[in-house]
């Protein structure tokens, strides 16, 4: 029997190994920056009880998908791996802080009123509603503080671009706007276009923004930015489609949050609109769109971005 010649074959990309190294850097940075001391070394120390709630909300939990997207996009476009690395690390942490703040607020009784997040009691259950609200506010502010260091580690133009990207992704035309539509849609049947718009804002904007922030750290050209923007849009929507699927197919232990809550709260989802099998097929269609966008980018090093897209669609939680 003849064996295939494997000389010169490109080894399979090991996402777990790639992500592990970068997640260590992100976790260490978050651990270092979420403290009672101000990151700029001036001003009053933060109250210890507030910082405890902030650290509880962020550390030791979550997939860290958004930071990984920042770093994968940066590495894909950077000519010199070291160029923009400090900006990319700060952007990765900043986008995770915004994500964490949004979860703290979304879980509160005035929003989704959830009691479980990342396999542990939600912040308002653990610390009370007032401290949870303040912790979310402080995490949001800290995100922008990280993007604007007082030294020369991140050039001013990059700081401005990153702050603008993150603000738009998180604000009324992004995540917050999508959450407002979500709350207003409870008990109403949305059509596919309306549902897509809601999720492109609520979930997709911050995921897409993560990709673009990484690309800006690597000083991507305009045509590359366009392709990565399309990639980010596809995986941003795919993430929510899969979330809707898992809400009806997985249990709370697997998800680390309350399963079945969308149906219990009469929220519009892709599964309620399309059915389970059509939703699964749509997620695969979006994965194909993401991979096609990477091909259009012309970038040589997109294996991490491709693997992350596959993880988004084929994940179990």
Report pLDDT digits (tens) over 26-82. 999 999 999 987 555 556 788 999 999 999 999 977 899 999 999 999 999 987 767
Report pLDDT digits (tens) over 61-72. 789 999 999 999
* Separation of alpha carbons 189 and 141, rounded Å: 35
DSSP labels, 60-116: S-S--HHHHHHHHHHHHH-SSTTTTHHHHHHHHHHHHHHHHHHHHHHTSTTTT---E
Strands (E), the chain: 116-117, 120-121
The answer to whether residue 248 scores a pLDDT higher than 80 is yes
Report pLDDT digits (tens) over 123-146. 999 999 999 999 999 999 999 999
User: Where is pLDDT greater, at 44 or 204?
Assistant: 204
* Separation of alpha carbons 220 and 31, rounded Å: 30
Rounded mean pLDDT of 254-263?
Answer: 62
User: Where is pLDDT greater, at 100 or 259?
Assistant: 100
The answer to whether residue 266 scores a pLDDT higher than 90 is no
Mean pLDDT of the chain: 90
Output Rg (C-alpha) for the chain, integer angstroms.
Answer: 20
Rounded mean pLDDT of 110-134?
Answer: 93
Helix axes 156-170 and 129-146, enclosed angle (nearest 10): 150
What pLDDT does 1 receive?
Answer: 37
The answer to whether residue 110 scores a pLDDT higher than 60 is yes
**15-37+44-314, superfamily in CATH?**
Farnesyl Diphosphate Synthase (1.10.600.10)
Rounded mean pLDDT of 81-100?
Answer: 92
DSSP labels, 107-139: TSTTTT---EETTEE-HHHHH-HHHHHHHHHHH
Helix axes 276-297 and 303-314, enclosed angle (nearest 10): 170
Domain boundaries, the chain: 15-37+44-314
């Amino acid at each position: 029997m003849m064996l295939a010649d494997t000389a010169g074959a490109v080894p399979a990309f090991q996402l777990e190994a790639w992500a592990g190294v970068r997640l260590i850097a992100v976790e260490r940075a978050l651990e270092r920056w979420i403290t009672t001391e101000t990151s700029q070394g001036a001003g009053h120390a933060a109250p210890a009880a507030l910082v405890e709630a902030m650290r509880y909300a962020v550390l030791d939990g979550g997939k860290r998908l958004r930071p990984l997207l920042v770093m994968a996009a940066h590495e894909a476009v950077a000519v010199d791996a070291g160029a923009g690395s400090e900006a990319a690390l700060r952007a990765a942490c900043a986008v995770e802080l915004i994500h964490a703040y949004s979860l703290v607020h979304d879980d509160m009784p005035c929003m989704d009123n959830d009691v479980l997040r990342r396999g542990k009691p939600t912040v308002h259950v653990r610390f009370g509603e007032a401290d949870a609200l303040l912790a979310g506010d402080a995490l949001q502010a800290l995100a922008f503080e990280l993007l604007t260091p007082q030294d020369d580690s991140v050039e001013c133009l990059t700081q401005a671009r990153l702050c603008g990207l993150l603000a738009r992704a998180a604000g009324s035309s992004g995540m917050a706007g999508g959450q407002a539509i979500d709350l207003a849609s409870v008990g109403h049947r949305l059509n596919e276009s309306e549902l897509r718009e809601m999720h492109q804002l609520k979930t997709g904007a911050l995921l897409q923004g993560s990709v673009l922030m990484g690309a800006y750290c690597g000083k991507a050209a305009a045509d590359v930015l366009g392709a990565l923007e399309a990639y980010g849009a596809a995986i941003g929507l795919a993430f929510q489609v899969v979330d809707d699927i898992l809400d009806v197919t997985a249990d709370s232990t697997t998800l680390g949050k309350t399963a079945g809550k969308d149906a219990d709260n009469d929220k519009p989802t892709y599964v309620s609109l399309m059915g389970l099998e059509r939703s699964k097929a749509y997620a695969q269609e979006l994965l194909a769109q993401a991979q096609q966008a990477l091909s259009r980018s012309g970038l040589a090093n997109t294996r991490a971005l491709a693997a992350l897209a596959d993880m988004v669609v084929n994940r179990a939680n």
